[in-house]
Amino acid sequence: MATNEFDLIARYFAHQAVNRKDVALAIGDDCAVLDVPVGSQLAVSTDSLVAGTHFLSEADPVRVAHKALASNLSDLAAMGATPAWVSLALTMPEPDEAWLAGFCQGFFALAEYYNVQLIGGDTTKGPLSLTLTVQGFVPQGKALTRCGAQSGDWIYVTGTLGDSAAGLALLLGQKSVDDAALAETLIDRHYCAQPRILAGQALRGIASAALDISDGLVSDLGHILKRSGVAAVIEVDKLPLSEELRRFEPDAEKASQLALTSGEEYELCFTVPEVNRGAVETALAHCGVKATCVGQLRPGTGITLFNAGEAVDWQLQGYDHFAE
Ligand code: ADP
Ligand code: MG
């Protein structure tokens, strides 16, 4: 970017103290130099956020940074990995220092909370977008994947579902609520999800499969079903809904539908063999995360929804796996 690319990097990105012993060399050279602990495998994930597509151009940069890093860390959580390093490729139309200051505030607050070191990146001129690559460690052979689920395993989700979609509908002006505090809470849930890092690690050796909910429960669970070769029953009346979502959408059926399709939740969806059900409760209680059993895997393909014991044939927005 322009003449002051190096100034910008130095001023905004190169100041994070290096507290990790596994970082031999961080920002400032041609490459970062890093040590992977003996006995661990590296889990790596990249995600891009483009202004106008993944966030509104006028969105608060503090929140954009949180969302960008949280969504990447959520991928590590879903593998049961411990986050270590992140790199950032940033493209912006002009060096906008106010935006950068806000972005760094949100970015480093979350990075430091999880002891994640920014180890490098790239800074270029163009339409506003960010690409993050996160790297973390997982004990050899212990990563949680999408393909180990078996018929009979139980389906769980962490936290509550639906708030992110409600917040987005408010942001986009598709819906409104009279209560300003309620609107603010839901919008905050849209931007400021907490990646389920500790829960993911706690589920290693307990869950048979896992992923994070970025496209909506039905859509994402579909990936586990395909990769594992099983079908699922979801009991929609068991879905964990927040108090705020119930106030946003008092119609129970519509609230459940939001919970089934809400993307960018960054909660974990995971499957558990019957023998490990007790272990789930204990493991997640230790990290203070609520998990709810919402259904069970069956032989076959596709997802069947039950509401209060009756099969329902809801047409869900953005979900096309029903036909399988
Ligand atoms: P090169 O031309 O060798 O690719 P750059 O000038 O792009 O190097 O970057 C110089 C240093 O600053 C490198 O260590 C790079 O990783 C780091 N860097 C550049 N942009 C960013 C950024 N947005 N965030 C973090 N580190 C960055
Ligand atoms: Mg470069």
Question: What domains can be seen in the chain, in order of their start residue?
Answer: 5-139 (3.30.1330.10), 154-312 (3.90.650.10)
pLDDT of 322: 40
Residue 272 Cβ inside 6 Å of ligand 1? The answer reads: no
In this prediction, residue 315 carries a pLDDT of 86
- Give the position, in ligand 1's atom list, of the atom nearest the Cα of 6: 6
Instruction: Tell me which residues of the chain have a pLDDT lower than 70.
Output: 1-3, 317-324
| Predicted pLDDT at 20 | 96
Q: Kindly report, residue by residue over 81-124, the tens digit of the pLDDT.
A: 999 999 999 999 999 999 999 999 999 999 999 999 999 999 99
In whole angstroms, give the CA distance from residue 109 to residue 217.
28
Strand ranges of the sheet holding 82-92, from the earlier edge strand across to the other edge: 40-50, 129-139, 82-92, 117-125
Question: What pLDDT, on a 0 to 100 scale, did the predictor assign at position 318?
Answer: 57
Report the separation in Å between the CA atom of 29 and the middle of ligand 2, taken as the mean of its atom positions.
Answer: 10
Neighbours of ion ligand 2 (CB under 5 A): 122
